[in-house]
Amino acid sequence: MPSSGSNIVTYSPAYTIVPTYECFNRCSYCNFRTDPGQSPWLTLAEAKSILQQLQSQNVCEILILSGEVHPHSARREAWFQRIYDLCELALEMGFLPHTNAGPLSFEEMQKLKYVNVSMGLMLEQLTPQLLNTVHRHAPSKIPEIRLQQLQWAGELQIPFTTGLLLGIGETENDWWETLAAISELHQHYQHIQEVILQPHSPGSQQSFNAQAFNPHKLPEVISKAREILPADITIQIPPNLVKDENWLLACLDAGARDIGGISPKDEVNPDYPHLQEQTLKEILQPAGWALKPRLPVYPQFHSWLTGKLTTSISSKPKIKCA
């Protein structure tokens, strides 16, 4: 049973909007991407229709999750503008945007800062060995490029979410080195709000031939991560990828305190439906855990927000971070 005063598990009432599934990377474990030119881009009119339907539902966060257009593509500028416009539209309609669209330039991050309450990018793993295996055809998975994103987010004072993908060919030492790199950057900039520990879960579209990450190992990883990461970084786990509810509870006992966005579909892992709020409560409450909604930006970062973002945050009194 959790100790008194530490029994809160948070989640974000969220909905994922995908500008495009096309991606120039070909990670062999991916169940999200399509080839460039094979996925029509979401129009603003289509997005507005979706958002209008969500206004009557319990949705706060709009996760803008996109495949990547190559940095040197003639279509990059239009792609980035579509993402920016979708964020602006979501804000205007009363939602709080959070963008995860792969590595961005410093200028792109600087622009998106003004229409996002937070942003994110998974480090996955910093080992260069994966560039010879699962990331062989994924130029934007070069470790230095992804670390640079975390540094720029700190310089720009962007509340940031990052994380590890577990079970894609890395070693245990790789986990601790990646977590240590996150910790070091956070201690300098104080900008990381969450670290996701995501177990690899095989999907129907991937070519990567590997078993799912052993869920029995996850509590141990969380416990060690809690030792490495500063106390003000929240550890997040995706409950739809931890099939056994006893192991989900073990993950919380080990130090995880957030379960991410609860939405109709997990776009990254479409073979694994999200557990919805009532189901999660039925698992958590008998074990002494209270499930609470939160904003996609944590309270300690509210002072970093400016302009319309400040106004949007102040209009969400019903949802408070724990």
Architecture of the domain defined by 8-204+212-310: Alpha-Beta Barrel (3.20)
CA distance 168 to 166: 6
Where b means 16+ CB within 10 Å and e means fewer, 85-110 reads ebbbbbbeeebbbbbbbbbbeeebbe
Average pLDDT over residues 186-210: 96
Q: What is the pLDDT of residues 14-27, one digit of tens each?
A: 999 999 999 999 99
pLDDT single digits (tens) 29-75? 999 999 998 889 999 999 999 999 999 999 999 999 999 999 999 99
Write down the residue that tokens 């949705």 correspond to.
59
Task: Look up tokens 């479409």; give the residue.
Answer: 270
CA nearest neighbour of 215 among 166, 266, 283, 281: 166
Task: Tell me the pLDDT tens digit for each residue of 72-125.
Answer: 999 999 999 999 999 999 999 999 999 999 999 999 999 999 999 999 999 999
In this predicted structure, what is the pLDDT of residue 311?
87
The percent of residues in the chain predicted with pLDDT above 90, rounded, is 90
Please tell me the predicted confidence (pLDDT) of residue 322.
29
pLDDT averaged over every residue in the chain? 94
User: Residue 285 and residue 21: Cα distance in Å, rounded?
Assistant: 37
Banded pLDDT at 317 (limits 50, 70, 90): low
DSSP letters along 151-218, please?
HHHHHTT--EEEEEEESSS--HHHHHHHHHHHHHHHHHH--EEEEEEEE----SS-----PPP-GGGH
Residue 318 has pLDDT above 80, yes or no: no
User: What are the φ/ψ torsions at residue 231 (nearest 5 degrees)?
Assistant: -65, -25
Does the structure show a pLDDT above 70 at 321?
no
Average pLDDT over residues 241-261: 95
Residue 322 neighbours by CB under 8 Å, 6+ apart = 8, 10, 257, 292, 294
Confidence band, pLDDT 50/70/90 cuts, at residue 320: very low
DSSP state of 56: T
Report DSSP state, residue 147: H
Q: What angle do CA 156, 159, 165 make, to 5 degrees?
A: 115
